[in-house]
């Protein structure tokens, strides 16, 4: 956990969470207030990241967007992690018909291009934050089911599980007390990686107009709005939100590597 990359991941995570928690107190401008007289101004002392086509302060919008994007990502990952862990653990422990039906259903779900599936779900449910959360949770669900099933299948015949059965523990208690706690480290590592995917998925849906609605500050919306001004030299409108998005995804990927080192010291290079 003490490697430079791991420390960098923790530092970036602290910055992201700080922006999400204290965003309204960190910015000096209203992120949705327009001022056309100040439109398309480059970065300056008054506006660190410049202003957009409506005169809104880009720095304020980038910071404010962290709360929305991270809230969607954490909510979606939580909604997929819990049922995915329980269902996958049950499939790996009981095997049989439950495993066969659940495995085929998971295969069918993963056969679809996941981003296209998310687009279809948001289009059907409507452009809203709740729709993005549900769609992102659904496309992340198969990862947890498969991982939990594999981890539970490895442990179902180990000595401590056999001892629990011999001691009269019910299957439900074995799953709750012995299986799920032991497979959670691997699932937490997967969740960290999925947080980056969730942020990217949220921004991607917003970029194509199927996610969060404008004028809400959201990184994908800001990149989409600023893309038309890049060729004219106003790079900062899309550049800074894109950089924030890249750093967020990188942070969660590095954090996943750090958690993997903690969960399995043998995997350290």
DSSP at 214:
T
Residue 67 included in any domain: no
Sign of CA dihedral 57, 63, 67, 69: positive
Cβ pair 163, 42 in contact under 8 A:
no
Residue 58 included in any domain: no
Q: What is the pLDDT of residue 146?
A: 93
Q: What is the mean pLDDT of each run of 10 residues along the chain (269 residues)?
A: 75 88 83 88 90 92 92 94 94 90 89 88 88 92 93 89 88 90 90 92 90 86 91 91 93 85 58
The domain tally of the chain equals 1
Look up the CATH number of the domain holding residue 174.
1.10.3720.10
Residue 239 included in any domain: yes
Residue 241 included in any domain: yes
Q: What is the pLDDT of residue 267?
A: 52
Entry pTM: 0.88
Residue closest to 141 by CA, chosen among 182, 109, 115: 109
Residue closest to 126 by CA, chosen among 205, 69, 198, 68: 205
Residue 59 included in any domain: no
Residue 37 included in any domain: no
Q: What is the pLDDT of residue 257?
A: 80
User: Residue 231's domain spans which residues?
Assistant: 4-22+72-267
Q: What is the pLDDT of residue 91?
A: 94
Q: What is the pLDDT of residue 6?
A: 76
Q: What is the pLDDT of residue 89?
A: 94
């Amino acid at each position: 956990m003490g490697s430079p990359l791991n420390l960098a991941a923790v530092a970036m995570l602290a910055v992201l969470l700080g922006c999400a928690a204290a965003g309204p107190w960190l910015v000096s401008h209203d992120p949705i207030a327009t001022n056309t007289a100040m439109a398309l101004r480059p970065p300056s002392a008054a506006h660190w990241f410049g202003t957009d086509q409506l005169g809104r302060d880009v720095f304020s919008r980038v910071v404010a967007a962290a709360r929305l994007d991270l809230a969607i990502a954490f909510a979606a990952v939580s909604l997929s992690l819990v049922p995915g862990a329980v269902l996958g653990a049950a499939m790996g422990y009981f095997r049989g018909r439950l495993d066969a039906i659940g495995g085929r259903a998971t295969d069918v779900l993963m056969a679809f291009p996941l981003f296209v599936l998310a687009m279809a779900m948001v289009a059907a449910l409507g452009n809203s934050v709740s729709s993005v959360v549900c769609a992102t949770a659904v496309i992340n669900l198969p990862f947890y089911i498969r991982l939990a099933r594999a981890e539970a299948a490895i442990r179902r015949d180990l000595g401590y599980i056999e001892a629990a059965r011999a001691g009269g523990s019910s299957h439900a208690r074995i799953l709750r007390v012995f299986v799920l706690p032991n497979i959670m480290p691997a699932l937490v590592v997967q969740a960290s990686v999925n947080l980056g995917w969730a942020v990217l998925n949220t921004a991607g849906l917003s970029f194509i107009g199927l996610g969060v609605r404008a004028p809400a500050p959201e990184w994908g919306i800001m990149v989409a709005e600023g893309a038309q001004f890049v060729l004219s030299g106003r790079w900062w409108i899309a550049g800074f939100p894109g950089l924030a998005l890249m750093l967020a995804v990188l942070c969660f990927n590095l954090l996943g590597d750090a958690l993997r080192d903690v969960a399995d010291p043998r995997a350290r290079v």
